[in-house]
Amino acid sequence: MSYENILVDQPAAGVGRVQLNRPQALNALNSPLMDEVNAAMQAFDHDETIAAMILTGNDKAFAAGADIKELAELTAMEMLAGQSLIERFDVKGIGKPIIAAVSGFALGGGCELAMLCDLIVASETAVFGQPEINLGIIPGAGGTQRMTRILGKALAMEVMLTDRRLNAQEALQHGLVSRVAPIDQYMDLAIEIASKIGGRSQVAVRLTKDAINQAYETTLNAGLEAERRNFMIAFASEDKDEGTRAFIEKRKAVWKNR
């Protein structure tokens, strides 16, 4: 499939990469771009040769926000009738892990898009923020909810009420990103992590991702029940038998991913 607003490749075995490609607009998110992101990610999710995915921009900007020209034309009723830009990315329908590789600006919708991913690897130049207050609106694609869960109420309030920006080290300190690397190394690091995930049982990877998301999105009791369910499902897999045998026989497991 050909795309106009993204670039798609496979930088390593088992790794699919989607790159936002509107550099003239600092990768501002619009409807055509998000539709293409969703299509490419869904294609990778259904590709048996792909184990993990990377979503990235360029060194200057992951995504500087939503396309304000598009937003300015929308009415409240049009917003009510349709999906938000970020909701076009059906992340709940994707079972494989997604790593956001962020350099430069990740603001507004760009920050929300990065937070939709399963983990974020940042370059030292990364800047995160939710500046919607400057437009007389609020974050509308999960910013007030996901960022508050990650940063805590007080810091989230300051970020969203005053347009405070978090640099890469601050984002690492507060748990918004998992790793920070120099600008010439952050993509290699994201590929390395994706490749490590690809070397594990994909049955266990999907079940683990689901259980962690349950911890993030539900109550403790509901999360424990989901973990127990996924644990039992793992015991029904061929990979469980292979993994335990390989451990006992002191050899590397050969995963069947079923």
pLDDT digits (tens, 9 = 90+) for 1-59: 789 999 999 999 999 999 999 999 999 998 889 999 999 999 999 999 999 999 999 99
What's the pTM? 0.91
pLDDT band, very low/low/confident/very high, at 210 (cuts 50, 70, 90): very high
Report how far apart, in Å, the C-alpha atoms of 133 and of each of 103, 115, 136 are.
23, 19, 5
* Structural domains of the chain ordered from first start: 6-198 (3.90.226.10), 202-248 (1.10.12)
Q: Give the side-chain half-sphere CA count within 13 A for 213.
A: 20
What is the per-residue pLDDT across 159-184, written as a single tens digit (0 to 9) for each? 999 999 999 999 999 999 999 999 99
The whole-angstrom separation of Cα 118 and Cα 139 is 20
Report the catalytic residues: 66, 109, 112, 132
What's the token pair of residue 159? 């970020």
Q: Which of 27, 29, 25 is nearest to 139 (CA)?
A: 29
What span, in angstroms and rounded, lies between the C-alpha atoms of 56 and 99?
Answer: 8
Q: Tell me how far apart the alpha carbons of residues 17 and 36 are, in angstroms, rounded to a whole number.
A: 13
pLDDT tens by residue, 98-153: 999 999 999 999 999 999 999 999 999 999 999 999 989 889 888 999 999 999 99
